[in-house]
Structure 1
Amino acid sequence: MTMTGRTYSGLFGYIGTGGIIKNLTVAEADITASSGNSMGIIAGVNTGDIENCTVSGGITTTSEEGYSNASYLGGIAGQNESSGKITNCVNRADVYGYDFLGGVVGSNNGGTVENCRNYGTITGIYFYIGGIAGYGRGDYKITNCANEGSVSGASVADSRPQNIGGIVGYGGAGSVTNCVNSGKVSGSSDFVGGIMGQSSGGDKITNCVSTGEVSGNGSSYVGGIIGHTGGATLGNCAWLEGTAGKGVGGGTQPGGVTMIGTSADVSGIATTLSASIDKTAINPNAATGDADYSATISLVPFPGKLADVYGTGVKDAGATTNSGIINITDNGNGTFTVTPTGAASGSAQITVTADLYKYDFASSSYSGTEYTQYTFTLNVIVSDIELTQITLSPASDDVSMKIGETQTFSVSYKPTNATNKSVTWSASPSGVVSITDSGNGAATVAAVAAGETTLTVTSQANSALTDTCRITVTPVYAENVTISPDVTETLYLDGSSHTFTATVSPANAANRNVTWSLTDVSGTLVQNGDVSISGGATDNPVTVSTKNAASAGSVKLTATAAGGDPQSGQPSGELTLDFALPNVSGLALNAETLDIDLNVAAYGELEAKVSPSNAQFSAVTWSVEPPIASISYDGDKQTKVTITPSKGGTATVTASVGGYSDTCALTVTPIYATGLTLSSGSLSLESGTTAALTAAVTPDNATDRSVTWTTSDAAVASVDENGTVSAHDAGSATITATANGAREGAELTARCIVTVTLPPVPVEDIDIDASGSTALTVGGTVKFTATVTPPNATNPAVTWASSDESVATVDAEGLVTARGEGTATITATSIDGSVAASVTVTVAAAEPAPAPQPSGGGGGGCSAGWGALALLAIVPLAMKRRK
């Protein structure tokens, strides 16, 4: 990768939060910059995750144009922000720039760097230069990292401190733990340290060791662990004797710093740990013992050797994979052997874990309980599995096919798990078959022409691997002919055309041409040319055309194949077609209007034209609305009619047949009525009775001799449409007859005056009331009063009569006079004699008048006494009569 540096330069200029870049190897990268900042081979700035990446090549500045040019340069990333994390990465690229330079990251701004290695040479012109990070800002973290590359600062024009460290050039308030520097660290100024050049005061440096040479121009600020503490906290750190004059160059002198002996004394010390694999690819095609058949994974402690620290400082190692293409064998000494399973090729990921126990430099021993478990991710590629043999199926050397047939061929492979199973299909000579590659080692071969050809399948991975099959293709003869559509319904002789297609089977017959013919089955449709084949007799599909024939019939349509087997003859297909006269498709009258003047003619004529001319139908139906005329028909089809008016006016004549209709506007000029007389000019009727009136219209041949009857007062007298008058209430009403056939605007009427009287109310009952006793004495009287029902009887008068006038008489007023002793019936009779009532009276003799009484005498005393008694008896009777 070659790139001209600028701000945010790298394979990825900026990795955002949540972004993940992993498992990348970038070889021989070349980033050249004269200015700009934030440059790294993987990313210019990282706020996400960078995992398992390895880079090589270089980042180089080309001029010295200013103080801040080409800053923040790192082999992996230019800057690693607070949310950024860089793990299991290796830098083998050289970095050359101005300031803020690091083997992994130029500036670690609160981010995390762990399990990383730098083997590249890091060279800066000014300050903040480190083997892992040039600058540690804020709460950054660097853990389990190692630097084996040279870290140096070139000469500068001024005397400012350079801050150069084997792990971190300048620290802030972060932490550096379990880190090792074995590279040479040097500066042209001061603040040079094996682990850190200078701290601003808040850093914590623990479990770190430096075995590389440390040197600087300012001797007071050069230390095997740190050039100047600035208040940083150090714990369990060591530097190799002879690599620096002292462990802490300047600043406070904290404890926890130990000088250890010669390089031979560090072989059993493990402060950092990583894992490596000696091959990036293994070959499943190699023999088991071949070098490229397997790969070895090794734990890499630092600064000691695996053989010296495994089991003491490094324990409980393990390696696993979720891929089915490799096997991993634990060798029990911190190494693992990776071999292919043979299942497939591809890339496999391996996860290696191990516990790194804390080494105490003061006591030169490992802690038995305090350890950190580290996890490393490695990748290995299993090379393609080579194909050694391909075989065609069907396995026959000679396959026979007919034109139009298809055959599926497939390939079997050895080994069955070969990586590249792609094949190429071909046939020679071409044109006999066509080949459709179905993929996955299968192809469909279709026979297209008679002849012989050789089918060949060839491996795309190795063209020397082939297999062949000879194919012989023979012609296919026509065996059957079917005609479609298979018409079963009746067709019509209406000038229409019908298309038929002959299908020759089998579909792959070499010659599928046909010849068509028509013959009469019943009738003479073909003979008369009413049904014929349009176009050529060898067309397919073919068109059968019709004419407007006069009669129906049936024909046979035959399609004869041309490609049948010559020995067995040519197959054919037949279809019988039934033709009928067509249905009605339209109707039109010969006139839009018809005017009939009855003073000139008595009728008019109309004709209905039915389409098509040979349509089949029973009869045309006609109507006149309103019904001012009658219709008579000519012929069974009723296409011609005579219109005879019954009155004048306008109407619509409608003719209908087969769902079609047409209309004609009819106008009739009538013979008008000019005279009208009634059978009577007046009538006297009693309520509840009827009388008939007749109207005479002249002239006698008037078209409309009807009349309309009306009454002036229906409550008195009503009249119906026939001239019958009905009397109702007493009074007078005028009955008027109006001639309907008079000329428009001329009113022709005649009238009859009807007088209605009410009928007499008869007497229904008589009640006699006596004013006194019905027992009379001669000479006595009694007054009878007769009351008739109903009270409104037309004649309420009665006549009085006695059944025996010698007993009693009665006058016209109902006064009864007693005449003689006996009984008599007094009767009151209505004037019409229909009702009578009677009362019986009884008459007694009158008491004799008393004789005169003589004065004095004794005999007279007795007589006088009886006379007085009789007088007393008569007086009460007379009083009773007076009641």
Structure 2
Amino acid sequence: LKTLLASVLLATVIVFGCTEDEPEVDITDIKFDGEKVTVTEGFTVDLDTVLTVSGADADQAQISFTSGDATIVSVDGFILTAVKAGGTTLTATEANSELTATVNVEVVAKEVDVTGVSLNQTEADLKVGDELQLTATIAPEDATEKGIIWSVAFPSGSKSAEDSPSAIATVSDQGLVKAVSAGDVVVTAKTKDGEFTASASISVTNIAVTQITISPESATVNVNETVQLTATIIPDNATIKDVTWSVDFDAEAGRTQIASPTVDYYLEISQDGLLKAKERCDECAFIARATSKDGEVSSYINVSINYIAVTDIILDPSDLFEILKGKTHQMKYTVEPENASNPTVTWEISNTMSQGDCGQSSINYDDYAMVDEQGLITAVSPFNNDCNDNLVIKAHHSDVQLPAATEFDVINPVESLDILDNTGEPVSSINFNGCGSYDLGVSISATFPYNSSVTWSSESPDILPIDKNGVIELGPNAPFPLNTTIKVTVEANDGAGASDSIDIVINYNGC
């Protein structure tokens, strides 16, 4: 095609001053083969191989080419040269027919192999929480593939396979290193092309604790009570903020009048700083200490134990009371003051006279009553002695010189009751005309000693009330006339359950 075009050009005759008529040239179409021409940077393309001319006189076509961007591709005749990577267009024009065709041209960058890589730093010392931007430089500068793969690993042989280097430091896809915890790692940049590597040794250390302050500045703890201690770490961004708590005697104050018990006998402290006083120690001086986890920094406060002594014990009941044989009674008590450090008392059974009186050389109180550590009395048998004195329940406390004491009796249960008429005879019923009053009596069957008190009751107290002495009479609201039977009951007050009932047959027609 170039030869033909050259022949056509040589055959053209130009006469100055006039132009001969050029013969008609039959060109019907020109087009590029394909939608795009691709060429590597620095290479050439013979455009004769990518352009097709159609028509009877195709061999006489006069073609010229125009580059859309001469900085990307240049054209010299039919030779296209790829100048630099990029994209542009190429237009072909046929002079005789003025037909045109355009095609996209893509210049592909020439691949340049990577020959090496280097880092902006090969070692660094970081504190936990620090960040470091590593920059990888690939050689040569115009290498085609500039991809980098970042990784973090332990120095050779320093850790087991189960350990994770990312627990010490991490690295992002852009080379940003973040220090996580104390330790040593190696950060590596590896080129995607050629797998060249460059590494940086990273040493991470903790932000050290420089000071610990304890609140409150000193503490006084009541026995059996607690005080919460709080440790503040300085600086605030220290890596490890945990402390270890401990208590000890104040060495400077000494251990005056203290025998063998260790400090734990008197004080204890939890690992969240809760300080508890367990026993009184009037002559003791203590300290509570907070120590950083690495053991480098500590601080302490002075601690003293305060014992609030019991000044009085009040028993309930405080007067003579009775316990039925075989039954129990729970003693109640209060101590003063209410905030006494040790409100617990010890219990003892005794009697109103000291042992040895009345000809008794010794008394085994367990034969009569027993008491446990909580003050629960169990009645065993009545205490019958020559002096006719009573048993005593005593509450002791080491803070009080004399115990608190209350007398009590163990009594036998009432076995049975019989209601008596006004002549003193047992009856099952009586006739009552409703006029005046009628005195009922009661006969008690029991072994001495026993509780002789009883309680009377009427099943219809509005019609026939009965008083505490067993006296009955019609009530003010009793109907008239009245013909009815009302039951009256008497019950022993010892709780054993003995009782008796009779019928009161009332025939009231006026008096």
The TM-score normalised by the length of structure 2 is 0.38
Ranked by relative contact order (alpha carbons within 8 Å, sequence separation 6 or more), the top structure is 2
The TM-score normalised by the length of structure 1 is 0.24
Larger Rg belongs to: 1
Q: Which has the higher strand share?
A: 1
